[in-house]
Structure 1
Amino acid sequence: MHSERDTLVIPPADMAAVDRDAADSGISSLGLMERAGQAVAAAALRRFPGALRFVVLCGPGNNGGDGYVAARALSAAGADVAVFALGDPARLAGDAAAMSSAWAGAAAPLQDFRPETGDVVIDALFGAGLARDLPEAALRAVEAVGTLALPVVAVDLPSGVDGRTGAVLGAAFKAAMTVTFVCRKPGHLLMPGRSLCGTVEVFDIGIPARILMRHSRHIRLNSPAIWGGALPAAGQAAHKYTRGHLAVFSGPATATGAARLSAAAGLCAGAGLVTLLSPEPALAANAAQLTAVMLKEVDGEEDLSRLLEDRRLAAFVLGPGFGDMERARAYVRRIAEAGRRLVLDADGITAFRDAPEALFPLFAEGAPRLVLTPHDGEFARLFPDLAEDGTLSKIDRAQQAAARSHAVVVLKGADTVIASPDGRALVNDNAPPWLATAGSGDVLAGIVGAHLAQGMPAFEAAASAVWRHGEAGRIAGEGLTAEDLPAAIPPWPRP
């Protein structure tokens, strides 16, 4: 059964507030640290039962306190344990000082650490709250451990990874597994931090959900548990129009493939009817390739205006291979004026690069009807100031862009972020690396369009499309091409 904690993502600053609220409510912070360290020890023993020595690297704060608890638990289990401390343990304060005192063994300076073959390293130097480059002694430890390719169990987050942005601060351990507490932090999901965490285990150390929700900021891991019930159920009397009519704009005769990929994906993702809207010179090229997808000539604003008289056309995809920037802008205005829903991708986004302020007001009224699906380069064309701001995480950029544009923003990548104008954000983690192939984004746009056409709210339509797209990549397997993806789109997941 799904628990709210399973998808919750809390940035480090808010997690510090959670810890303070827990202590103020009477929960023993020392008890929380004890449970955290015990969980690390248990995970390390379970994952690496044949370790010749557990080397515990303890930092100067509470992460180090977790490490001292883990060292004590590992030693009590009969393991060979060596502890190395960054800084003087005598200068520790609070709970970390208490746990350091409870450790009966020695704690050598971190500078004396010399890794050996057969070691398993418990990285308890810095947790998710690190906001500066690693000190020199820690950098040398990272290098030494990496040279021998020793397995690392990270406490909370691999030291050197920024828990808010996922960025690497100078250098970072590459962990085989990470044991974190209460819930995930952005650094576990955002690249490159995610690639350094290994397997992530989230351990509930006893902080009540009511405290977590107070500081959650509406950031979650993208999961069917969040949007699984958002697809309207198809009754016994359903027909193709009740399942949604999606229209996809084709490019010119020399660039029709991208739009056909989107259209095929829309059909496989559940739209009852998909029509490819083609300029006259591209009709023959498209007709030769289409079967279940319908084809209609739309070769200017007048054609589109007549088409929009049919209210059954619920959603549009514009951008894949489109090419004509002036016509793209005109079509977007017509669709917005008609009150329809739109996925704007690729050339559709680029068409507004010189005047994004001409796009955003078009969809400003009512519930979100516009879904933008940029990769980083396209994002920078619409939101150059956000793209250039190095203080923002990918989540921050997507959230601010969504609020500015009154659109759902799907900021694509290995760590795709889906953000709503109301502040909600999801981070996706199920996309395999081989999904990064030409045409993959066109397929995603078609899935989003299908979900919109079926009546889903824009945020849930986009989030579920990103997840199904990732699953399609996993199902199609390594070596896939974009043409393999539509047939691999999985059935709608039911919670």
Structure 2
Amino acid sequence: MTKKEASPILTPNAMAAVDRAAAETGIDSYGLMIKAGWAVAATALRSHPGAIRFVVLAGPGNNGGDGYVAARALVESGAAVVLFHLGEQGRLRGDAARACADCPVRGAPLDDYHPRAGDVVIDGLFGAGLDRAVPESVAAIIGKVGALGLPVIAADLPSGLCGRTGQVLGAAFQATHTVTFMTPKPGHLLLPGRALCGALEVFDIGIPMRLVEAQAENLFENGPALWQNWLPRLGAESHKFRRGHLGVFSGGATATGAARLSAMAGLKAGAGLVTIAAPHAALAANAAHLTAVMLREIDDLAGLQQWATDPRLTAFVLGPGFGVGERARDFVLALSDRSLVLDADGITSFSGETDLLFSAFVTGEPHLVLTPHEGEFARLFPDIAADGVMSKVDKARAAAQRANAAIIYKGADTVIAAPDGRAAINTNAPPSLATAGSGDVLAGIAGGLMAQGLPAFEAAAAAVWIHGDAGNRAGRGLTAEDLLTAIHLPA
């Protein structure tokens, strides 16, 4: 099956390798810096055409070089510009020194900058390469700029953010716009970095994509290009059994709603048939609310084992409202050779029993999808969760490899990871998805896609994006029921 190409996300180290490769092929690195600086200036002029003055803050490296170029471009465009530099300009090297020499604006030391109303700040201090806390003098400037609420245009990344993790290193600018080059970096998309970047613009400064792709690290921004070609195409010969049969497990009589949300989401995601498997005590409660979804009585492990012999059952969802404990563990282990989405109570049931879960799914192609939020992730992977150096992407990848499963590490910056190292950061989910039942819908979408034959990672990534898209379609104030009606698969 032909796959569309998804655009990569590069870490700062990988982007530095791209820059070096570009220079080695004979591409003029100063020419690239000029394009970058002009892109920053263009964004500043477009977003703040009436600025009283632009204040360029230039650092001691190439990010500062971008700032010097931006200052020159702004002056040539007729804008009022002042410049303040961190460190001695005489110690600049390479392209940054050349950009400083070509800049018509005389700079003053950074400590001399006293922010005032009407300033538009161009942040060219550090960019994405920072790996330690910002100096106290920079933190003080960041605080003063933030206190006045001044607009900030960041070159590459707001200074003070880690480009690899999106975490704040002491203090960081709150940018209104961030202009980066060639590809986003993890720090642009992971929280809190995403919130601090403001509007993100990715500008192509002319580095050949073959050089970028040569440094790609199997990390992408989640979107249809990553998985759309895996979605099944309906033909004249299609019928419900060819579209997959999803089984969803219900909790007891007073805990049936979550399973119904998952089941309906599975139908909306394209599964041809969906059956809720419920204990006898929950049959009446479920039957009173079901129409297109079928119902089957499953009280114990023996009943599940008999049902699961039906080859037309192609995937299962276990966890939403199911209950925590030995019964959940037994059911999961009985399905260890089947495609399974494990959510909520299903995940919590393996707290302290993770080896039991992981060993059951260790062989073969990944066919387990785990959907932990922060707390559930810590229950399944306590050592990984506690690591203070790893990014959220690093953690999701490590968890996926350990569990031989696709991981949906949920949150406002959900990360999806596969055991082979592929990972995607999702960015389309609105805050309104933080509502009761939303996760049950997500699990059902993933189950519905797996039932149709999507591999675990592609099903997980598609489910997260479709879930976010449904949230945007449903609008502010949505309920889980609203999400169901808003589920839409890309054509």
For Structure 1 versus Structure 2, the TM-score category normalised by the shorter chain is over 0.9
What secondary structure sits across from 2:407 in the alignment?
strand
Residue 397 of structure 2 corresponds to which residue in structure 1? 399
CA offsets per residue over residues 358-404 of structure 1, 9 Å max, x none?
11122222211100010011011111110000100000000111111
Give, in whole Å, the separation in 2 of the partners of 1:265 and 1:365: 29
Distance 1:463 1:50, change over 3 A: same
Residue 462 of structure 1 corresponds to which residue in structure 2? 460
Counterparts of 1:417-456 in structure 2, within 5 Å, are: 417-456=415-454
Residue 268 of structure 1 and its aligned partner are, at CA, apart by: 1.3
Match 2:338 to one of 315, 337, 340? 340
Give, in whole Å, the separation in 2 of the partners of 1:436 and 1:215: 36
Are 2:365 and 1:367 aligned?
Answer: yes
Residue 171 of structure 1 corresponds to which residue in structure 2? 171
Residue 381 of structure 1 corresponds to which residue in structure 2? 379
Give, in whole Å, the separation in 2 of the partners of 1:53 and 1:319: 57
Partner amino acid for 1:190?
L
Q: Which moved more, 1:51-60 or 1:357-366?
A: 357-366
Give, in whole Å, the separation in 2 of the partners of 1:105 and 1:486: 57
Partner amino acid for 1:346?
A
Residue 241 of structure 1 and its aligned partner are, at CA, apart by: 1.0
What secondary structure sits across from 2:144 in the alignment?
helix
Is the 8 Å Cα contact of residues 66 and 124 (structure 1) preserved in structure 2?
yes
Unpaired runs of at least 5, structure 2: none
Is the 8 Å Cα contact of residues 191 and 415 (structure 1) preserved in structure 2?
yes
Distance 1:93 1:366, change over 3 A: same
Is the 8 Å Cα contact of residues 371 and 407 (structure 1) preserved in structure 2?
yes
Give, in whole Å, the separation in 2 of the partners of 1:438 and 1:82: 51
Distance 1:221 1:62, change over 3 A: same
Residue 258 of structure 1 and its aligned partner are, at CA, apart by: 1.1
Aligned alpha-carbon RMSD (Å):
1.2
Residue 237 of structure 1 corresponds to which residue in structure 2? 237
Give, in whole Å, the separation in 1 of the partners of 2:61 and 2:347: 46
Residue 3 of structure 1 and its aligned partner are, at CA, apart by: 9.2
Counterparts of 1:317-332 in structure 2, within 5 Å, are: 317-332=317-332
Residue 180 of structure 1 corresponds to which residue in structure 2? 180
Residue 105 of structure 1 and its aligned partner are, at CA, apart by: 1.7
Residue 38 of structure 1 corresponds to which residue in structure 2? 38
Give, in whole Å, the separation in 2 of the partners of 1:146 and 1:119: 12
Residue 446 of structure 1 and its aligned partner are, at CA, apart by: 0.2
TM-score (norm 2): 0.98
What secondary structure sits across from 2:128 in the alignment?
coil
Match 1:352 to one of 347, 350, 353? 350
CA offsets per residue over residues 261-305 of structure 1, 9 Å max, x none?
111111111111111110111111111121211111111011101
Is the 8 Å Cα contact of residues 7 and 222 (structure 1) preserved in structure 2?
no
Partner amino acid for 1:413?
G
Residue 20 of structure 1 and its aligned partner are, at CA, apart by: 1.4
Are 2:19 and 1:19 aligned?
Answer: yes
Matched length: 489
Residue 89 of structure 1 corresponds to which residue in structure 2? 89
Give, in whole Å, the separation in 1 of the partners of 2:294 and 2:50: 61
Partner amino acid for 2:364?
G
Partner amino acid for 2:84?
F
Give, in whole Å, the separation in 1 of the partners of 2:340 and 2:8: 29
Residue 110 of structure 1 corresponds to which residue in structure 2? 110
What secondary structure sits across from 1:228 in the alignment?
helix
Counterparts of 1:286-297 in structure 2, within 5 Å, are: 286-297=286-297
Counterparts of 1:73-222 in structure 2, within 5 Å, are: 73-222=73-222
Partner amino acid for 2:382?
P
Residue 405 of structure 1 and its aligned partner are, at CA, apart by: 0.8
TM-score (norm 1): 0.97
Partner amino acid for 2:346?
G
Is the 8 Å Cα contact of residues 317 and 446 (structure 1) preserved in structure 2?
yes
CA offsets per residue over residues 128-153 of structure 1, 9 Å max, x none?
11111111121111111111111111
CA offsets per residue over residues 307-330 of structure 1, 9 Å max, x none?
112110100000111114201111
Is the 8 Å Cα contact of residues 181 and 205 (structure 1) preserved in structure 2?
yes
Residue 484 of structure 2 corresponds to which residue in structure 1? 486
Residue 231 of structure 1 and its aligned partner are, at CA, apart by: 1.1
Partner amino acid for 1:399?
R
4+ long deviations beyond 6 Å? none
Q: Which moved more, 1:203-212 or 1:425-434?
A: 203-212
Give, in whole Å, the separation in 1 of the partners of 2:417 and 2:64: 35
Is the 8 Å Cα contact of residues 4 and 226 (structure 2) preserved in structure 1?
no
Residue 72 of structure 1 corresponds to which residue in structure 2? 72
Residue 227 of structure 1 corresponds to which residue in structure 2? 227
What secondary structure sits across from 1:329 in the alignment?
helix
Is the 8 Å Cα contact of residues 86 and 137 (structure 1) preserved in structure 2?
no
Identity fraction in percent: 62
Is the 8 Å Cα contact of residues 165 and 187 (structure 1) preserved in structure 2?
yes
Match 1:416 to one of 400, 414, 417? 414
What secondary structure sits across from 1:343 in the alignment?
strand
Residue 258 of structure 2 corresponds to which residue in structure 1? 258
Give, in whole Å, the separation in 1 of the partners of 2:265 and 2:186: 30
Is the 8 Å Cα contact of residues 428 and 467 (structure 1) preserved in structure 2?
yes
CA offsets per residue over residues 324-364 of structure 1, 9 Å max, x none?
4201111111111xx31000011111111112111112222
Give, in whole Å, the separation in 2 of the partners of 1:293 and 1:50: 59
Give, in whole Å, the separation in 1 of the partners of 2:466 and 2:430: 12
Give, in whole Å, the separation in 2 of the partners of 1:30 and 1:407: 45
Give, in whole Å, the separation in 2 of the partners of 1:408 and 1:453: 15
Is the 8 Å Cα contact of residues 152 and 176 (structure 1) preserved in structure 2?
yes
